[in-house]
Amino acid sequence: MCFSLQVFSQNTTDEDIDLLKMHIENYITQASFESDRGDYYNAKDHLEKALDIAKKIDDKKSEGIIYTKIAKVEFTVEEPENALVSLTKAAELQREINDYANLAITYNARGVLHTSKKEFQTALDYFNSAKTKFEEEGLENYIAEVNLNEAKVYIQLKDYKTAKSTLEKTIILAKKYNQPAILSSALTYSGKVLQKLGNDKLALSMAEDGLKLAKDNRIIENINDSYLTLSDIYQDTENYKLANEYLKKHIRLSDSLLDIKRDNLSPEKRAQFINEYKDAKNKQMEVKLEDAEASNNLTRITTILSIALITILSLLTLSLYKNNNIRLKTNNVLHKKNDELIVAKEKAELASKTKANFLSTVTHELRTPLYAVTGLTNMLLDENPKPDQIQHLKSLKFSGDYLLTFINDILQINKIEANKVDLDPEVFNLKKKIENVISALNNSAV
């Protein structure tokens, strides 16, 4: 929508002040429309025309409002120093006429400017001042935007708990006053914060709600922020497919927004803006690629370690299986050998018992006739034999006694094997024993 204005001379004394104020409102409305569609330099041009009229009629309140709006446009087109000058002028005028409601809006814009320069404490001071002024003026509906900007500062400071509580307040106020742009942005940033706090499930829900609300109201910048937030959350949950899809959507939409912004920039600023945007995007993509590569490396390492662990466990299982088989075979061999030893032992015991029985029987059978021989020999010796028979009878007696002694010794061997032997000391005549042996041997030789 285009508006044309009649040029009024400064010397005109009967100008309609109300009509001029209407022209100011028309210029401001046209500038807002152009700013929304990215035509920032035409927006600034219309604001400057509105400012000229406000100065001409000494409308300080309108001057302050226009300076704040000019500062916002200058900030958007990367002219922070000019924006700071405009905000300073706006604040001076608003303090002069006690326009505290619009001064609070200026403070909020000043806080956003200092946030972009990473002067976070200064930014927070301005946000607090803005909220105080809004509360004093009873303008609670403006506080939601200030809270949202304040939460963004806490996110950059990595104070996620404070950011979370601030965003919760923002969501309540945005719902209360039906502010979809602020609400969708607050939901998206809540998703970012909850992801950092480790609550991926709730983070995903918040970000998806923010995206839906932004789409329903066609808030392009918020849609773009939601795409990037969802990509980060899915990357964190290792859903790389969806993370990649949302990242591609974010890049495509960012490129579209860049084209719109580039077409509406001055030639000098256009080249600078494109280069800065590309550098920022390249850095962002490098960070994304590094994160993806780190995730892939971690996945690869995890896979390798898992395979190694499974291999080791398999080898240990195989080793245990083989050891159990060897132990089983060894036990079987030992049982077999034990059985053989038991059989051998039983056979040996039987043989020993048989031998003992045999020797016992034989010796008893031999002793009976030997007792008869020795008894008859003694009887013959007692009947006064012939002198030439005495020696033979003595020899016979010795041999019989010797055999009896030998048989008794065999019986003693059986007792030794049965552990039943008893040692008895016995006195004997060694000389006599030797003479008897010699006599027996002589008779045997004869």
Q: Tens place of pLDDT for every residue, the chain, 446 residues? A: 344 444 444 444 445 788 888 888 999 999 888 887 778 878 888 999 999 998 988 899 999 999 999 999 888 888 889 999 999 999 999 999 999 999 999 999 999 999 999 999 999 999 999 999 999 999 999 999 999 999 999 999 999 999 999 999 999 999 999 999 999 999 999 999 999 999 999 999 999 999 999 999 998 889 999 999 999 999 988 898 998 999 999 898 888 777 766 665 555 555 554 555 456 556 666 666 676 667 667 778 888 988 999 999 999 999 898 888 898 888 888 888 888 888 888 888 787 778 777 777 777 777 778 777 778 778 877 787 777 777 777 777 778 777 777 777 776 776 666 666 566 777 777 787 787 677 667 755 55
> What radius of gyration, in Å, describes the C-alpha atoms of the chain?
60
Write down the residue that tokens 């001042």 correspond to: 129
Instruction: Compute the distance between CA of residue 84 and CA of residue 123 in angstroms, rounded to an integer.
Output: 13
Cβ distance 366 to 407 under 8 Å? yes
Concatenating the DSSP letter of every residue in 153-197 gives HHHHTT-HHHHHHHHHHHHHHHHHTT-HHHHHHHHHHHHHHHHHT
- What is the dihedral angle through the alpha carbons of 415, 421, 425, 427, rounded to the nearest 10 degrees? 0
**What's the confidence (pLDDT) of residue 255?**
81
Output 385-394 pairs: Cβ under 8 A, ≥24 positions apart: 391/439, 391/443, 392/443, 394/436, 394/439
**What's the confidence (pLDDT) of residue 139?**
93
> Computed from CA positions of residues 301, 305, 308, 314, in that sequence, does the dihedral angle turn out positive or negative?
negative
Query: Side chain identity at 293, as an amino acid letter?
Result: E
Half-sphere exposure of 221 (CA within 13 A, CB side): 11
Cβ distance 157 to 120 under 8 Å? yes
The structural domains of the chain, ordered by start, are: 17-265 (1.25.40.10), 341-445 (1.10.287)
Instruction: Compute the distance between CA of residue 210 and CA of residue 225 in angstroms, rounded to an integer.
Output: 9
Instruction: Compute the distance between CA of residue 269 and CA of residue 209 in angstroms, rounded to an integer.
Output: 36
Q: Using alpha carbons, select from 142, 219, 150, 149 the residue that is nearest to residue 173.
A: 142
Name residues whose C-beta falls within 8 Å of residue 368's C-beta, 6 or more positions apart in sequence.
none
**What's the confidence (pLDDT) of residue 279?**
64
pTM equals 0.57
Composition of the chain by helix, strand, coil, percent to 5: 85, 0, 15
**What's the confidence (pLDDT) of residue 4?**
40
Query: Side chain identity at 236, as an amino acid letter?
Result: D
Query: Alpha helices, DSSP H only, in 57-179?
Result: 60-76, 80-96, 100-116, 120-136, 143-156, 160-176
Name residues whose C-beta falls within 8 Å of residue 103's C-beta, 6 or more positions apart in sequence.
64, 91, 94, 95, 133
**What's the confidence (pLDDT) of residue 2?**
41
Instruction: Compute the distance between CA of residue 3 and CA of residue 157 in angstroms, rounded to an integer.
Output: 45
